[in-house]
Amino acid sequence: MLEPQFLTSRRQLLQVGAAGVTGMALPGTGTGSTETATNARAKSVLIVMLSGGPSQLDMLDPKPAAPAEVRGEFQAVSTTVPSVSVTEHLPRLAAGLDQWTILRSMAHREHNHLLATHIALTGRPTPIPRGGSDLDRVESRNDFPNFASAVDFVRPGETGIPTGVSLPNYMIEGPLTWPGQHAGFLGAKHDPWQINHDPNDPGFQVDSLTLPGDVSGHRLVGRRTLLDALEGRQRRAQNSAEFQAFSDHQDVAFSLLTSARVADAFQIDQESPEDRDRYGRNKFGQSLLLARRLIESGVPVVQATMGIVQTWDTHVDNWGRLKNTLLPWLDTGLDALMRDLKASGLLDQTLVIVMGEFGRTPRVSTLPGQTVPGRDHWAHAYSGLFAGAGVRGGQVIGATDATAAWPTTRSWSPADVGSTIFHALGIPSDAVVTDPLQRPNHLINGEVIEPLFTGQQT
């Protein structure tokens, strides 16, 4: 931790106050909406991101009558919803499916992890620079803003409460940073607040919400006022995008440091050992518990990523990884989350979405040099879970063919998921953002998935 007397520059204050926020603003921010929204179903949205692409066949859309090379190793079990089955390794979900809707006909065309992640988190195709390759397309400030950032742009939150929080890690693998994780061309001011700590760690804390021992909140306010006065001339003389980004980050840092509500939400050790056990003593289960606490504190959009990047990328040992860790962790964590949201009344105002960037191939395969089989990438048909905020539980939307390869009913895209999020939050249908080429883009660029709320399928 920096000594208090050294907090004399914008960069140093940022290091203390907003270590989790990075980026640089670019020109091209857009305009808000002229329409008044009155149709909000949700106050918060929780996106449970299963990075890597979970298998629809081995989870939510089993095909027990298919050949062995398609159906895989798992058995299908009945649920509380008549004629609907899921994998045997999701027993809690099977018993509580009356709270959930399974959407089995999600689809798009992108099988590349990075590009598909941008689509999943923004509802837009990933922009490819001229002469660039879609094989190495990584995060860029030319990206479209993700859902949390777009909400922050058109409807900024109250002081001290970030519009978006993402946890428990940024999706980075070696030189690759997954696109779709920040505000893109809207600039760093609208980036979600990123947590890069494991909530299951006994020493878990968010350092950027901790002041040095002899710096009180009152003293911090005084130093902020002094720093603004000292830098006033520099701010006027250096009106660059990078300087503005630092200024935006300092504002975020200051708001968070003086917000007791958000700081308290991160005190996960306030939960009883029994309640923590219910979520599972693992990184994912405790991330869901922390996500629930953030929703309780008033954060509108929370994203909890299961594990690390590509955790669900099961080219090798698909069934061993699913049954030994991934599915038990998911089943336990979601069950505890739903019970708590329902008991507190928050389920009525929280839209919960569980999805990956795509699914897995219908046919089992073994990679060269490997002996344990798995499944490859497949975006033509995959499944997701939806609950809360008016979603009618106990139903299945959409269907796939005998091998879960293609939808046999209308398909729903990530753009439709994004439009549903915005609609549920009461974002007006005419809300737009302007990209770096000064082109207006409507946030609601797909169709709202109305069957989630009406039960009437199209």
In this predicted structure, the answer to whether residue 380 has a pLDDT above a threshold of 80 is yes
* Mean pLDDT computed over 149-176: 90
* Mean pLDDT computed over 254-258: 54
pLDDT tens by residue, 223-233? 445 545 555 54
pLDDT tens by residue, 308-360? 788 999 999 999 999 999 999 999 999 999 999 999 999 999 999 999 999 99
Which pLDDT does position 249 carry in this prediction? 55
Give the separation between CA 227 and CA 331, rounded to whole angstroms.
Answer: 49
Give the separation between CA 140 and CA 128, rounded to whole angstroms.
Answer: 10
pTM for the model stands at 0.84
Phi, psi at 397, each rounded to 5° = -110, 130
Which pLDDT does position 232 carry in this prediction? 55
Q: At what angle do helices 217-237 and 241-257 cross, to 10 degrees?
A: 170
Considering the chain, what percentage of its residues have pLDDT values greater than 90? 69
Considering the chain, what percentage of its residues have pLDDT values greater than 70? 77
Which pLDDT does position 106 carry in this prediction? 98
Instruction: Print burial letters for 65-83: b (CB count within 10 Å at least 16), e (below 16).
Output: ebeeebbbebebbebebee
Which pLDDT does position 217 carry in this prediction? 43
pLDDT band at 135 (very low <50, low <70, confident <90, very high): low
SS (H, E, C) the chain: CCCHHHCCCHHHHHHHHCCCCCCCCCCCCCCCCCCCCCCCCCCEEEEEECCCCCCCCCCCCCCCCCCHHHHCCCCEEECCCCCCEEECCCHHHHHCHHHCEEEEEECCCCCCHHHHHHHHHHCCCCCCCCCCCCCCCCCCCCCCCCHHHHHHHHCCCCCCCCCEEEECCCCEECCEECCCCCCHHHCHHHCCEECCCCCCCCCCCCHHHCCCCCCCHHHHHHHHHHHHHHHHHHHHHCCCHHHHHHHHHHHHHHHHHCCHHHHHHCCHHHCCHHHHHHHCCCHHHHHHHHHHHHHHCCCCEEEEECCCCCCCCCCCCHHHHHHHHHHHHHHHHHHHHHHHHHHHCHHHHEEEEEECCCEECCCCECCCCCCCCECCEECCCEEEEEECCCCCCCEEECCECCCCCCECCCCECHHHHHHHHHHHCCCCCCCEEECCCCCEEECCCCCCCCHHHHCCCC
Q: Please, what are the domains in the chain?
A: 31-206+266-454 (3.40.720.10)
* Mean pLDDT computed over 154-174: 88
* Mean pLDDT computed over 51-71: 97
pLDDT band at 8 (very low <50, low <70, confident <90, very high): very low
